[in-house]
Amino acid sequence: MTHGSNRLSCYGIPGDGCGGGREFVVQNDTLYAIDPVTKERFILLENVKNAKSISKRGCEITIICKEEEIIFDLSTLSLKK
């Protein structure tokens, strides 16, 4: 799902254990998690260049960029290698 020209987002399924119910957004080259109740934004990853899409499955957020695919693991809060 996209919101505007410079924002990409997806949502975690409530109860899935890894960011359930949260919105995950790439905006201005940064991946954020947004709490649905407080609307507080948490930075998860910076330097996300040329993002084209974002999706979440289980504990992994996948960001497709112009020149690479980034997989961010929510269980370890790090890039998956």
CATH class held by domain 7-79: mainly beta
How is the chain split into domains, by residue range?
Answer: 7-79
Residue 16's pLDDT is 79
Region 5-29: mean pLDDT is 87
Residue 1's pLDDT is 39
The pTM for the full model equals 0.87
Tokens 């890894």 sit at which residue? Answer: 18
Residue 8's pLDDT is 94
pLDDT bin (cut points 50, 70, 90) of residue 25 is: very high
Region 22-35: mean pLDDT is 96
